[in-house]
Chain A
């Protein structure tokens, strides 16, 4: 589950879910499509910055782990790709390990790491209540299912612990040095005990829902989210930056070729403008978070 950090630090998470969902959809799409190294490095750095602005110091471990992943993907990918003309060395049975494949691997790794970072921020912002709120109108039945599942899972987990403890108490649990088969069998017993109770509970829950008027027309539901003026402003800024970035990058030449030799087109003014707008777009959540934190600090000192 999402662990939202201290008050004020995550101002971006307090925006309307439609805005934050649109932001992440746009970011992930562009992240996958833009393959120019300049843009990829930009996206990775800003993604890390954004995640750090959400999590603070706790974020660095994850970012470090992703740097390792990036290095592994880059170093390993030439093993599976022998194209390219600059041979660095030859390994197993004279297979070439080429600079071009290494560069492409680095590009793939950067893209993957940036995507993971954006997904990590997404996970913090798009909590289950925000997600189900967004899809409640289009998919009312399914979002009810999702809400119920997310509520039942912790309950069932606690119940499993209780069942296992009770079985251990009457000497039926797996002993210390029990074999794998015995452990699996014991867990199966716990699981079927849980399911018997859970399925009966499903009927009770459903009847209770119906008794309280589930599915009747004209019912409204409570939601924490309201569309405010700042949501319109952020959405407009987002759309403007995104359009500018896409137009500039489509006009400019960003097609990088890796094989047989690396060809990076010269960075023209249009690509620079595109990269600037893209960067500003990616910086939005970080800026909003920092602004929120600043406002929080100021409010504290004036009290």
Chain B
């Protein structure tokens, strides 16, 4: 009985259903593109901390298209469960490294999710992991920025896998080292500075170059430590975790995007 062995039809939304979802996604992307310059102009006009306000609004515009496109695909239960489990693993990974001080491995799990399941799922896992960890450790003005930063890490990893820079499983040693290096660079060059920008924005009622330099320089060692943690985690768990995700692909036909 194929219906039983393969479970219910989970191959993704059928074509006609996908259309309105795609139109909605396009609309949100266009909306973001139109609203962003308006928001920047508004931020200049508004008294008080207009920089943080418009920055955060733009971050939210960047998040919305991904969410709308995920909903537009009508995600099936298995896809939802896999995204949730990956995000939960990313949040909880820190607890495994409790004996190593200041070790933040979340981005490594997010990158692995992106490598195995593509840019869109990578972004979702990253942003939901950031949001969920803020529900546990406390919401703050940094929440949307963290969602975007970690989402982008997953997105870039997914794009790298799509471009066949990295295979989806069974990384050789040189590839694993390259992946760890990529993780370090992504944290120090992308996610870290993005989070520092949020710090800079909420400290900058009147931003000066000196303040920017101070914030980014103070962030550098923190980001380097974060990046090193991510690189170490990638070296250790990338292969086992990618193999496990590959198993899901082979056994259940999940995460199988036709390229």
Which residues of A are at the interface with B, using a C-beta cutoff of 8 A? 1, 29, 32-35, 73, 77, 79-83, 104, 107-108, 111-112, 115-116, 119-120, 122-123, 126, 128, 131, 139-142, 144-146, 148-150, 152-153, 156-157, 160-161, 164, 174, 180, 183-185, 187-192, 194-196, 198-199, 201-203, 205-207, 209-210, 214-215, 254-256, 258-259
Query: Among residues 126 to 159 in chain B, which have CB atoms less than 8 Å away from a CB atom of chain A?
Result: 128-129, 131-132, 135-136, 138-141
User: A112 touching B202 by the CB < 8 A rule?
Assistant: yes
User: A128 touching B135 by the CB < 8 A rule?
Assistant: yes
26 A-B Cβ contacts within 8 A? Answer: A34-B48, A35-B48, A81-B211, A82-B210, A112-B203, A115-B141, A116-B141, A141-B80, A142-B67, A142-B70, A145-B124, A145-B128, A148-B81, A149-B84, A149-B88, A153-B91, A157-B92, A184-B103, A191-B93, A191-B233, A192-B240, A195-B89, A198-B85, A215-B76, A254-B47, A256-B47
User: B82 touching A119 by the CB < 8 A rule?
Assistant: no
Q: Which residue from A104, A152, A164 sits with its C-beta under 8 Å from B85?
A: A152
Q: Which residue from B48, B52, B206 sits with its C-beta under 8 Å from A258?
A: B206
Q: Which residue from A82, A150, A198 sits with its C-beta under 8 Å from B89?
A: A198
User: A203 touching B75 by the CB < 8 A rule?
Assistant: no
Chain B 197-228 near chain A by CB (<8 Å), digits 1 or 0: 00000111110101100100000000000000
User: A195 touching B241 by the CB < 8 A rule?
Assistant: yes
Q: Give the residues in chain A near B136, CB-CB below 8 Å.
A: 1, 150, 153
Q: A139-B71, A160-B92 are in contact. Are A206 and B77 (CB under 8 A)?
A: yes
User: B132 touching A150 by the CB < 8 A rule?
Assistant: yes
User: A174 touching B99 by the CB < 8 A rule?
Assistant: yes
Measured between alpha carbons, how far is A191 from B239 in the docked complex, in Å? 12
User: B96 touching A190 by the CB < 8 A rule?
Assistant: yes
Closest to B214 in A: A80
In whole Å, how far is A23's beta carbon from the nearest beta carbon of chain B?
15
In whole Å, how far is B148's beta carbon from the nearest beta carbon of chain A?
15
Measured between alpha carbons, how far is A128 from B227 in the docked complex, in Å? 30
Interface size of B in residues (CB-CB distance below 8 Å) = 69
Q: Give the residues in chain B near A144, CB-CB below 8 Å.
A: 80, 84
Closest to A95 in B: B210
Measured between alpha carbons, how far is A274 from B46 in the docked complex, in Å? 17
Measured between alpha carbons, how far is A119 from B135 in the docked complex, in Å? 11
Which residues of B are at the interface with A, using a C-beta cutoff of 8 A? 7-8, 46-50, 52-53, 67, 70-71, 74-78, 80-85, 87-89, 91-93, 95-100, 103, 105, 124, 128-129, 131-132, 135-136, 138-141, 202-206, 208, 210-211, 214, 232-233, 236-237, 240-241, 244-245, 247-248, 252, 254
Measured between alpha carbons, how far is A198 from B50 in the docked complex, in Å? 43
Q: Give the residues in chain A near B254, CB-CB below 8 Å.
A: 203
Q: Give the residues in chain B near A258, CB-CB below 8 Å.
A: 206
Q: Give the residues in chain A near B67, CB-CB below 8 Å.
A: 139, 142
Smallest CB-CB A-B distances: 3 pairs? A188-B236, A148-B84, A152-B88
Residue from B53, B70, B206 with most neighbouring chain A CB atoms (10 Å): B206
Closest to B53 in A: A32
Residue from A149, A164, A210 with most neighbouring chain B CB atoms (10 Å): A149
User: A119 touching B71 by the CB < 8 A rule?
Assistant: no
Residue from B46, B87, B204, B205 with most neighbouring chain A CB atoms (10 Å): B205
Q: Which residue from A33, A198, A215 sits with its C-beta under 8 Å from B47?
A: A33
Q: A32-B53, A205-B81, A214-B77 are in contact. Are A191 and B128 (CB under 8 A)?
A: no
